[in-house]
Structure 1
Amino acid sequence: MIQAVVWDIGRVLIEWEPERFYDSAIGVERRKALFAAVDLHEFNLDVDRGQPFLGTWQAAARAHPDFAADIMLWHDRWIDMASPAIPRSVRILTALKAKGVPLLGLTNFGVETFEIARAAYPFLDLFDRRYVSGQLRLIKPDAGIYAALEQDSGFDPQGLLFTDDRPENIEAAAARGWQTHLFDGPAGWADCLIRHGLLTKEETQ
C-alpha cells in the first residue's frame, strides 16, 4: 500500500531546459560554443550540492572570461530557465493533496534557487516535507539522500511511490525498495497513480 508519494521537481513539475533558454538568449551557435567550452551542468551540480549560488557562477565566469557574460545568465536569469510549470503535473499534485495523500519533494536544487522557485511557484508549498539537496548537502542518486528522507519521514521504503525523470535516480530508489515511476510526461504518471488507486482518471485531467 502506498503511504506517500515522492516527487522530483525539475522536468516533472517545472520545465528545465537550459540549452533551450540559451538558444533564445544568445543564439544556437554561441550556445554550442559555450557548452562545449564550459561544463555549465557541473557548476549547477555544485550549487545543488550546497555551494553558494552567486559565488559559484562568479567563479565560473572568472575561469572563462571569454564567456563571462553568457555564464552569468545562469545566475541572473535562472527563473527563465526553470520555467514554465508543467500544468497537468501541477493539477495532479493538487488532486493528491486534496485527497489527503502525503506528499514529499525530493529534489536536486540549490538553497537559494529553491527559494526563488518557491516564490515563483506556490504549488511547491503543497508538499508536506521537502528534501532539497543543497540544504542536506546530499544529492541524488547518492544513497544518503534517500536514507535521509526515510529516516525523517518515518515511512517504510516499500510504502513510497517515487517519480523522477532520470533513470539513475529511479534505480537508486528502487534498490532501497521504493516503488518507482520513470517520468516521461504527465500522462504516464497519471496512469501510474490510477493503477495504484490513488486518483481516478477524472482527477488526473
Structure 2
Amino acid sequence: MTIQAVVFDIGRVLIHWEPEAFYDAQIGEARRKAFFAEVPMHQTNLDIDAGAPWKETVYALAEAHPNWATEIRWWHDRWLEMASPDIPHTARLLRALKAKGVQVFALSNFGIGTFELAAREYAVLTEFDQPYISGYLGCIKPDAAIYEKLEEGSGLAGASLLFADDRPENIEAAAARGWHTHLFDQPEAFAARLVAEGLLTEEAAA
C-alpha cells in the first residue's frame, strides 16, 4: 500500500525537548540528579500530557516538595526554555511533504497548555493537516487508544502511514498496527528515509 500520510512526533523530532540540560545549566548536574531522584517530574509531565491542568499540577507538586519549589515551578514558568530550539530541517521536510500533496499529522504526548505555548512559538506546529495531541485526546503513547484515534480521525491505517518518533516503545506500538515506522535520531536520516520511500526527491529533502 502506498504511504498517504506522514505522522510526526514533536518533542525531539520537530523541537528539542531537553529538561535535564536546562536544569544542568541552572543548578548543576549533581543537584539536578538529586532533584529528579526526589521529585517525580517525568511522571508529572505524563500526567499533564494525559490532560491534567498544567500550572495547577506543577504548582501543587511544588507545594508538596517545598525544598524544591522553585525548581518545580520552572516546569511551568520556564518550560519553553526546556522545549527549544526548533529543528529546522525536520520542519522543512514537513513543508516539503505538504507541497507534494502528502498529508502530515502530529501524534504527540503533549499537554494542552504546553502545546498551545509551543504552537505560538513554533509556526510549524500549526501546519499539520491534523494534530493528534494526547492532552486533548485523554490518552498517551504508547497506549493503543491514541493510535486508534488517529486512524479513526484520518480514515487511514496500517501501511498507508509512516510514523517518525524518537522513542522505541512508541515506534513498536505503531509497527504492531502495521504502520511504517522510523526511529528518529537525526533529520538527515529521516530525510533519506523519505527519499527512499519515494515521498520526496533528494533536492526537496535537503
User: What's the TM-score bracket when you normalise by the shorter of the two chains?
Assistant: over 0.9
Does residue 37 (structure 1) correspond to residue 29 (structure 2)? The answer is no
Deviations 1:51-105 (A, max 9, x none): 0000110111111110011111111000110000011111111111111210010
Does residue 166 (structure 1) correspond to residue 155 (structure 2)? The answer is no
Distance 1:53 1:60 in 2: 11
Give the deviation of 1:28 after TM superposition: 1.9
Does residue 135 (structure 1) correspond to residue 146 (structure 2)? The answer is no
Q: Where do residues 40-51 of structure 1 align in structure 2 (5 Å cutoff)? A: 40-51=41-52
Give the deviation of 1:29 after TM superposition: 2.4
SS across alignment from 1:83: coil
Deviations 1:89-126 (A, max 9, x none): 11111111111210010000000110000000011111
Q: Where do residues 98-137 of structure 1 align in structure 2 (5 Å cutoff)? A: 98-137=99-138
Amino acid of the residue matched to residue 61 of structure 1?
A: A
The TM-score, its normalising length taken from structure 2, stands at 0.97
Give the deviation of 1:27 after TM superposition: 2.0
Distance 1:85 1:139 in 2: 22
SS across alignment from 2:159: helix
**Equivalent residue for 1:144?**
145
SS across alignment from 2:177: coil
Distance 2:176 2:187 in 1: 24
Amino acid of the residue matched to residue 204 of structure 2?
A: E
Q: Where in structure 1 do 4 or more consecutive aligned residues deviate above 3 Å? A: none
Amino acid of the residue matched to residue 187 of structure 2?
A: P
Distance 1:29 1:160 in 2: 42
Gap regions ≥5 residues in structure 1 = none
Distance 1:160 1:145 in 2: 14
Amino acid of the residue matched to residue 19 of structure 2?
A: P
Q: Where do residues 1-205 of structure 1 align in structure 2 (5 Å cutoff)? A: 1-205=2-206
Amino acid of the residue matched to residue 120 of structure 1?
A: E
Distance 2:107 2:157 in 1: 16
Give the deviation of 1:156 after TM superposition: 2.8
Gap regions ≥5 residues in structure 2 = none
After superposition, the CA RMSD in angstroms is: 0.8
Amino acid of the residue matched to residue 88 of structure 1?
A: H
SS across alignment from 2:201: coil
Amino acid of the residue matched to residue 82 of structure 1?
A: A
Distance 2:30 2:68 in 1: 13
SS across alignment from 1:103: strand
Percent identical across equivalent pairs?
59
SS across alignment from 2:120: helix
Amino acid of the residue matched to residue 204 of structure 1?
A: A
CA contact (8 A) 1:97 1:126 kept: no
The TM-score, its normalising length taken from structure 1, stands at 0.98
SS across alignment from 2:86: coil
SS across alignment from 2:51: coil
